[in-house]
Structure formats: structure tokens, C-alpha cells
Amino acid sequence: MKRKILITGGAGYIGSHAVKEAVRFGFEPVTYDNLSMGHSWAVQAGPFVKGDLADRPGLVKTFQKFKPTAVMHFASHTYVGESVTDPQKYYRDNLTNAMNLFSVMLEKKVNFFILSSTCATYGNPVQVPMPETHPQNPVNPYGDSKLMLEKILTWYDRAYGLKSTFLRYFNAAGSDESGKIGEVHDPETHLIPLVLDAAMGRRKNITVFGQDYPTPDGTCVRDYIHVTDLAAAHFLALKRMMETEKSDFFNLGTGKGFSVKEVIAEAEKVTGKKIPVQMGTRREGDPPELVAQADKANRVLGWKPEHSSLKNILETSWKWHQAYFGKSKKA
Ligand SMILES: NC(=O)c1ccc[n+]([C@@H]2O[C@H](COP(=O)([O-])OP(=O)(O)OC[C@H]3O[C@@H](n4cnc5c(N)ncnc54)[C@H](O)[C@@H]3O)[C@@H](O)[C@H]2O)c1
């Protein structure tokens, strides 16, 4: 019998790719999503429950009906900038919704949990590449709310035996090679879809924030990890956690960074279009370089990013972007 996993936020960008990967890894996904940001068409496998994490009775019913053996938790608010202007939203929802989920897991004796965590839990880098042991001093409520969840879960393991794996993503990017699911955020804040919007003429240009960073070409450097590789890591981590019954934490990145200018140049090659660029000043809180030390996931989980060349990230994103956004003109 296939093992069922509850995937919160399975109708969102990364969650929908995890739903698809679940089947490949021999699990049966059950999506729980309120569609505040996600899309029902993105759920390509398994049952879909439209529900909010704030609705505890709804969660209990879902656990009773599907009897999952593990939970992968993608559902949260995800905008760093918004978390600074509206911290209440981030602490209230990202924390209390997750606490609801944990309480139902404890009640139903579901003991395995995977957390979508982030490099934003580290804050400003004191060393690059950043290892998992890097100090965690978040500089915004978004990263802080995720760090709080990591701390809560560490205590829950001690007290209740709830095992969890924290996966600290760097920059998720790319789309499933089928071209059927991909990145659709509204508003969109991520570099690659914005660059592709400019390539398609859905926006006038792309603004590069800051050219005077201490990086080779002066623009910010980030570690882009393909969403299919990201999704696969969740199942390797889950399998290992179920075998060892131990909690753990991993960076998910490639260990190699690309500057904003490099991303734009590669996007011009892939799309065959000239991308109009406007130079802007630095944005507050943008570190020059965020790159993962990524060997732990490889060593312990046998995880190897296979889809994460910048070229493939841009090619799969472009295929998706044209298919999904091709019909409308403006972003
Ligand atoms: N995208 C990245 O680069 C990145 C990097 C680091 C960490 N993360 C984390 O990964 C996770 C997924 O990110 P994403 O980019 O796929 O986001 P997303 O917004 O595309 O997906 C989140 C999903 O959760 C759902 N959701 C939100 N609140 C809910 C609630 N209260 N009840 C039920 N469903 C709810 C939304 O409808 C959406 O489908 C998030 O936890 C995010 O913090 C993302």
C-alpha cells in the first residue's frame, strides 16, 4: 500500500512540484490548500482538499479521512518585504497555522514532518558559501517566523517525538519539464519570472537594484535551485527520516551563485530576445551574495541537483512562461 502524505500548499509553486514528485517516489499525495495564492489546476496528482490551516476541525477531518503518515508543509506567506511592513500577518499565520497543524499531528500520532524553511533564517551572511551551521539571525519577520518554527519543532521532537526535517531553500526557480506547472505568483517578486516578463513585453523593463556590490560585476549573487530538484530532496529527506527516526536540517542549493547580470544575459540567450534593463539603486536588506554550502544534502541524502544548470532553469521557465502568460499582454 502506498504511503499517504499530506502536502499543505500543494497548489502553490513548489508544493505542486512536490505533489508531482511524490508519485515518482512511491507516495500518495493529498493536497491541503486554501487557494489564497495557489491554483487547483496545479494539483496534478492525488486528492485535493480546499481548506485553510486556520480551520482546525477541517484539518482533523482531513487527517481522519486520509490517514497520512507524514506532512510536508509548504503553505505560508512568503514575501520578505511584506513581512517587514506587516509582521502581524507573518507571525500570526505562519506560526499559528503551523501550530494548529502540529497539534492535529500530535493528536493523530503522525510523527514525520518536513518544513519548507529558508536561507532567510540565516540573515546577513558572515561566511559564503553558507553552511547549515551558519549563525541564524534573521533580518526580517518572514525569516524569523521560519526560524521560530525550527525552534518549536526541535522542542516538539524532544517532548513528543515529532520528527522533522528543515529544508532551507535558497532561490527556487525553473518549472516542471512537462510545461504543465510552473511559477505563478501574484504579485511576482522573483527575478527570473520578472526577467521573462520583460522578454515577453509583459513589462517594460527589468530593474537591477544596485551595481556597486562587492561582487565580480557589482550586482547581487544568488544560488538558483531548480524546483524539480528541490521537490525530489523532500522525498529523499522523508525516506531517510522514516528509516532513521531522526530529525535533521539541510541547505538546498547548488553551491554556485549567479549575478543578476548573468541571469539576464542567459535569459537573453535562451529567449533570443533583448531584455530592456533599467539600473536602480540598492534595496535595503539585500545581501551581496547568498550561496549555499550544499554538500550535506548530497552526503547524507544522496541528493544531487540534476536540473539546476542556469540554462535549464531558464529554458524550463521560459517554456512555462510562454504557455501560461502567452495569452495576456501586461504583467
Ligand atoms: N519560492 C522560493 O524561492 C522559496 C525560498 C525559500 C522558502 N520558500 C518556502 O517554500 C514554501 C512554498 O513557497 P512557494 O513559492 O511555493 O509559495 P506559494 O505562495 O506559491 O505557495 C504557498 C501555497 O500555500 C497556500 N496557503 C497559504 N496560506 C494557507 C493557509 N492558511 N491554508 C492553506 N493553504 C495556504 C497558498 O494558496 C499557496 O498555494 C513557503 O513556505 C516558502 O516560505 C520558498
Picking from 92-96, 186-190, 216-220, 249-253, which range would have the lowest pLDDT averaged per residue? 186-190
Q: With 90 as the cut, is the pLDDT of residue 327 above it?
A: no
Average pLDDT in the 72-84 region?
94
Q: With 90 as the cut, is the pLDDT of residue 205 above it?
A: yes
How many angstroms is it from 185 CA to the middle of ligand 1? 10
Task: Choose one of 16, 21, 33 to mutate for the ligand 1 pocket test, by most ligand atoms within 8 angstroms of C-beta.
Answer: 33
- Cite the beta strand spans of 281-325 per DSSP E: 289-290
Round to the nearest angstrom and report the end-to-end CA distance of the chain. Answer: 45
Ligand 1 atom with the shortest distance to the CA of 11? 39
Ligand 1 atom with the shortest distance to the CA of 117? 7
pLDDT band at 131 (very low <50, low <70, confident <90, very high): very high
Whether cis (ω within 30° of 0) applies to the bond prior to 129 is yes
Task: Choose one of 8, 14, 188, 249 to mutate for the ligand 1 pocket test, by most ligand atoms within 8 angstroms of C-beta.
Answer: 14
Ligand 1 atom with the shortest distance to the CA of 183? 20
How many angstroms is it from 273 CA to the middle of ligand 1? 31
Angstrom distances, CA of residue 111 to CA of 33, 55, 105, 235? 21, 21, 7, 15
How many angstroms is it from 75 CA to the middle of ligand 1? 4
CA distance 187 to 78: 11
How many angstroms is it from 12 CA to the middle of ligand 1? 6
Q: What pLDDT was estimated at residue 284?
A: 79
Average pLDDT in the 173-196 region?
93
CA distance 128 to 123: 12
Is there a contact between 254 and 89 (Cβ–Cβ < 8 Å)?
Answer: no
Cell digits for 120? 532567510
Ligand 1 atom with the shortest distance to the CA of 33? 34
Closest CA to 226 of 318, 115, 116, 313: 313
Q: What pLDDT was estimated at residue 331?
A: 56
Closest CA to 313 of 192, 139, 215: 192
Is there a contact between 331 and 188 (Cβ–Cβ < 8 Å)?
Answer: yes
Query: Of all residues in the chain, what percent carry a pLDDT higher than 70?
Result: 98
Domain boundaries in the chain? 3-170+225-252, 191-223+255-325
Average pLDDT in the 148-154 region?
98
Enumerate residues 6+ apart whose C-beta is below 8 A from 149: 94, 95, 98, 115, 117
Write the pLDDT tens digit of every residue in 257-294: 999 999 999 999 999 999 999 999 988 778 899 999 99
Whether cis (ω within 30° of 0) applies to the bond prior to 287 is no
- CATH code given to domain 191-223+255-325: 3.90.25.10
The residues with which 118 forms a beta bridge, in sequence order, are 169
pLDDT band at 189 (very low <50, low <70, confident <90, very high): confident
Q: With 60 as the cut, is the pLDDT of residue 329 above it?
A: no
Does the annotation count 324 as an active-site position? no
- Residue whose CA is at the smallest distance from ligand 1 atom 21: 12
Query: So what CATH class is 3-170+225-252?
Result: alpha beta
Q: What pLDDT was estimated at residue 328?
A: 59
Average pLDDT, the chain: 95
Task: Choose one of 19, 36, 324 to mutate for the ligand 1 pocket test, by most ligand atoms within 8 angstroms of C-beta.
Answer: 36
Domains 3-170+225-252 and 191-223+255-325 share a fold: no
Burial of 294 (0-12, 13-18, 19+ CB in 10 A): buried
What is the CB < 6 Å shell around ligand 1? Answer: 8-9, 11-15, 33-38, 52-54, 74-76, 78, 93, 97, 116, 118, 169, 171-172, 185
CA distance 156 to 152: 6
Q: What pLDDT was estimated at residue 185?
A: 87
Q: With 70 as the cut, is the pLDDT of residue 79 above it?
A: yes
How many angstroms is it from 10 CA to the middle of ligand 1? 8
Enumerate residues 6+ apart whose C-beta is below 8 A from 36: none
Q: Which of 142, 156, 213, 324 is catalytic?
A: 142
- Residue whose CA is at the smallest distance from ligand 1 atom 4: 172
Q: With 90 as the cut, is the pLDDT of residue 330 above it?
A: no
Q: With 80 as the cut, is the pLDDT of residue 1 above it?
A: no
Q: What pLDDT was estimated at residue 188?
A: 86
- Cite the beta strand spans of 109-148 per DSSP E: 112-118
Write the pLDDT tens digit of every residue in 212-235: 999 999 999 999 999 999 999 999
Alpha-carbon dihedral angle through residues 189, 33, 91, 4, given to the nearest 10 degrees: -120
27-33/48-50 β-pairing: parallel
How many angstroms is it from 15 CA to the middle of ligand 1? 7
